[in-house]
Amino acid sequence: MGYVDGGPLVDGLLALGHCIKSTIGVDNNTFIKLIERPPREEYGDFGFPLLRFTRDRGVEGVLEGLSNCLRGYSIDYVGLNVVKGFLNVRFDEVKLGGILVKLLSSGWAPGMARVGGGEVKTIVVEHTSANPVHPLHMGHARNASLGDTLARMLKARGHRVVRRFYINDMGRQVAVLALGFKVLGLSPEEVALRLKAKIDHAVGWVYALTHTTIDLILARRGVVEESVESLASTIARLRERDVELADRLIEGVMKLEDPEAELSRIMSRYEAGLEPERSIVRGVAESTIRGFKETLDIMGVEFDYWDWESDIVWSGLLSRTLDELRRSTYIVKHKDALALDVARIAREVVEPSRELSQAIRLPRGFEIPPMILVRSDGTTLYWTRDIAYSIYKFENSKADMVVNVIAGEQRLPQLQIRLALLALGKVREAVNMIHYDYEMVRLPGRVMRGRRGEYVSLDEVLEDAEARALQEVLKRNPGLGVEEARAIARKIAVGAIRFSLVQPGALKPIVFDVEKVLNFEENTGPYLQYTYARAHNILEKHGPIDFSLVDPRAYSDSLRRALLIQTLTYPLVAAKAADELRPEDLASYLLKLADTFNRWYQRDSVIHEPDIGAREAKAVLVKLVKDVLSSGLEILGVPVLERM
């Protein structure tokens, strides 16, 4: 991968990478992947496992060859030595500082290093894609935060990014919702007005009450395991919201002779695009999506396309895909339904191919069950429609890669879909479709069950976080106007939530604690926002930097030098995080940078430095930190604040 505009430190490393390639044959991608900060500062600024590639030759000869090669690139600020088989790299901070000042005076600022022209890809990031039956909750918040951050990272890296939200409007859940509104005879807007609620919250209430009432009917018939008493208790709780409206809905559902048959009828007719089901289902889903958009707008999450599952069906793409699958030699009957023998595809197509085996990692010792494509009643399953949608994402966006941000519980269906693509001969699509999986979010003492109306919505968490942040802002700034304080508090709340859902890494479960994520002192989004505001404030007091007066010798001080190297490493760290789809690496880097900056600032005043050359050199460090935090926070979707 290319590293355009990476700055002097990255340029030095890239030159070293070219020298290593010409000297010992290690390609640049391997070099960039393996070079890293050493565990101890005295070893140098970076380390590379040289001995791994030079066991049959002397490292001294290699070291001399690398030094000569660097001189050929006119790189005189990179020092090399070998300790215990590691090539240690140490930058001359004075020379590096001199080059940096010239760059800064010409307008350069540290940002993510970008890919070169021929390496630019079109990448689809599909994320959030919540079922439109109730408001977004904290699980959706993690999906949205991860997905939007990935999109921002890849775009900053220089790729063309297409952000897509897939609206699942053809499953049983949406049919339950449509049945509830059909029985009520009211629109989502009318119910929201009646309940004095945001529209997606009103939709969630109707969905939960309808679903629970249907389950109560089935429990009385012995079909559902949950007890009649438990379901009746849930209905009583939901009924408290509006007794008259609830009774109207419950009575209407109870009058149905066979609710399950009615749901099947709605799903079947909607899949066929028939009225009035087409208008009812689409209408309630559109209302919910409007509520989603309001919440996502606050979170700073945007999409280029809102793709309807029903459009994939009605366009004929699903039927064409099914026709192709029916002609496949991997089609079987499973439980009296049309299915795909994906285990056989894995054995016959994936396992013999090294390329496919590396791209599609099959779980060891796990039997992959047949993938049912069409139910016995002729309706399709969501993963069948996802096969067609996967093809659509590649074709519609002319994508080189598709990243699906979907919870870890969907690992099996996502694997089956990739195997189904292979059955269709879509090898490129199967190889370049990535399931970016993540673990769920728990809130202490809360059980999440959307069908029972038991969830903590993202709107509620935002409201709570904003209220807590507002108290802290007013405490720190007693003279601040309420409206300005509220605007700051909202940005703090958004930053706190987004950062907390990305920073641990996607595969780590999260127990969300709003008090902890709002901590201004350490390891949080607000801590980074506060550090940025501090850097901004220092530069405001200092005034414009006179680059002509900067004395690079000031960077010989150990803590100043550490900050210089750390900030100039940012373009490489950010680029590697984007290439590896690891936003947690960027978050970790920013926290360490903030720690270094705050530790330095406490002991080494900028404003009161008597030596003008050292003062301007230190102001440059503050500017670097501010620029890096600005870039990194923007990529993570954390709003920057000049005042807290």
DSSP symbols for 391-408: HHHHHHHT-SEEEEE--G
Residue 317 has a pLDDT of 96
pLDDT digits (tens, 9 = 90+) for 533-576: 999 999 999 999 999 999 999 999 999 999 999 999 999 999 99
> What is the chain's mean pLDDT, rounded?
94
- Model pLDDT, residue 422: 97
The Cα angle at residue 456 between residues 166 and 386, in degrees rounded to 5: 20
355-387 per-residue burial string, b: 16 or more CB within 10 A, e: under 16 = ebeebbebeeeeebebbbbbbeeebbbebbbbb
How many other CB atoms are there within 10 angstroms of residue 229's CB atom?
A: 9
**Sequence-separated (6 or more) residues with CB below 8 Å from residue 268:** 377, 378, 379
Question: Which residues, 6 or more positions from 13, have their beta carbon under 8 angstroms from its beta carbon?
Answer: 32, 35, 46, 78, 89, 572
Confidence of residue 281 (pLDDT cuts 50, 70, 90): very high
Tell me the CA distances in angstroms from 429 to 289, 347, 370, one per residue in order.
29, 19, 21
**Do 421 and 429 contact (CB within 8 A), yes or no?**
yes
- Answer whether CATH 3.40.50.720 is correct for domain 118-167+308-441: no
DSSP H helices in 331-481: 342-345, 354-359, 382-397, 411-423, 427-431, 458-476
Handedness of CA 594, 600, 605, 610 (dihedral sign): negative
CB 206 within 8 Å of CB 177: yes
CA distance 631 to 640: 9
Q: What is the DSSP letter of 455?
A: -
Predicted local distance difference test score (pLDDT) of residue 365: 76
Q: How far from 167 is each of 131, 132, 282, CA to CA, in Å?
A: 7, 7, 10
Long-range residue pairs from 344-350, CB within 8 A, at least 24 positions apart, any chain = 345/419, 345/420, 345/422, 345/423, 346/419, 349/419, 349/422, 349/423, 350/419, 350/422
Spatial distance between the Cα atoms of 524 and 528, rounded to a whole number of angstroms: 7
* Average pLDDT value for residue range 246-261: 95
Question: Quick check: 124 pLDDT over 90?
Answer: yes
pLDDT in tens, 406-433: 999 999 999 999 999 999 999 999 999 9
How far, in Å, are 8, 363, 627, 639 from residue 108 at the CA level? 11, 47, 10, 22
Domains 7-91 and 458-636 share a fold: no
Check if the beta carbon of residue 586 is closer than 8 Å to that of residue 636.
yes
In this prediction, residue 63 has a pLDDT band, given cuts at 50, 70 and 90, of: confident
Calculate ∠ Cα 373-274-306, nearest 5°.
70
Write down the pLDDT at residue 431: 97
Amino acid at the residue 69: C
pLDDT digits (tens, 9 = 90+) for 453-463: 888 999 999 99
> Is the pLDDT confidence value at 380 over 90?
no
Which pLDDT band holds residue 166 (cuts at 50, 70, 90)?
very high
Q: What is the pLDDT of residues 173-205, one digit of tens each?
A: 999 999 999 999 999 999 999 999 999 999 999
Q: Where are the domains of the chain?
A: 7-91, 118-167+308-441, 172-284, 458-636
Phi-psi region for residue 543, left (φ > 0), alpha (ψ -120 to 50) or beta? left
Q: Which CATH class is domain 458-636?
A: mainly alpha
Kindly report which listed range (131-135, 377-381, 508-512) carries the lowest average pLDDT score: 377-381
105 has a pLDDT exceeding 70: yes
Whether 628 has a pLDDT exceeding 90, the answer reads yes
Looking at residues 52-70, what average pLDDT do you find?
A: 82
Joined tokens for residue 610: 């008597």
Q: What is the mean pLDDT of residues 108-131?
A: 95
What phi, psi does 166 have (nearest 5°)? -100, 115
Neighbours of 46 (CB within 10 A): 23
Q: Is the pLDDT of residue 96 over 70?
A: yes
Q: Does 240 have pLDDT greater than 90?
A: yes
C-alpha dist (Å) from residue 474 to 405, 482, 483, 528, 538: 38, 8, 11, 19, 22
What backbone phi and psi angles, to 5 degrees, belong to 119?
A: -100, 0
Torsion of CA 565, 566, 569, 570, to 10 degrees: -150
The string of pLDDT tens digits covering residues 470-481 is 999 999 999 899
| Whole-number pLDDT of residue 57 | 65
The CATH code for residues 7-91 is: 3.30.1360.70
Q: Residue 433: CB partners within 8 Å, gap ≥ 6?
A: 390, 394, 401, 402, 404, 417, 418, 421
State phi, psi for 434 to the nearest 5 degrees. -110, 130
Q: How far apart, in whole angstroms, are the C-alpha atoms of residue 176 and residue 259?
A: 9
8-state DSSP, 203: H
Above 90 in pLDDT, residue 375?
Answer: no
The confidence score (pLDDT) of residue 58 equals: 66
Report the alpha-carbon distance of residue 59 to residue 87 in Å, rounded.
9
pLDDT in tens, 564-612: 999 999 999 999 999 999 999 999 999 999 999 999 999 999 999 999 9
